[in-house]
Amino acid sequence: MIACYILYNLFSNKYYVGFTQESMDERLEKHNSGFYDKSYTATIAGKWEVYILIECMSVSQALKIEKHIKAMKSKKYIQNLKVYPEIIDNLKQKYK
């Protein structure tokens, strides 16, 4: 599976945006186990959970969606992705 994903950490009220080519379960386990020892997710206390998973058609599409979300620099935008799933549909169309 190729996907762009957003993780949420309840303890710190933080989000993390990334992409993966492996299963989301495997990727989440790596984030929560400290596998990425110098990464942002490793420096934040508490467990991460999948907030949004956006399945993509290609690595290129996933990277473009990830970059777009990060460029917004907004928790509200990320929260709106969950409230208004049509935003995700629009992103997938835009970065086909």
Q: What total number of domains does the chain contain?
A: 1
Q: Is-contact 55 61, C-beta < 8 A?
A: no
Q: What is the pLDDT along the chain (96 residues), one digit of tens a residue?
A: 999 999 999 999 999 999 999 999 999 999 999 898 888 999 898 999 999 999 999 999 999 999 999 999 999 999 999 999 999 999 999 999
Q: Which helix (H) or strand (E) element contains residue 81?
A: helix 75-83
Range of the structural domain that residue 59 is part of: 3-94
| Planar angle of CA 42, 3, 67, nearest 5 degrees | 70
Provide the whole-model pTM. Answer: 0.95
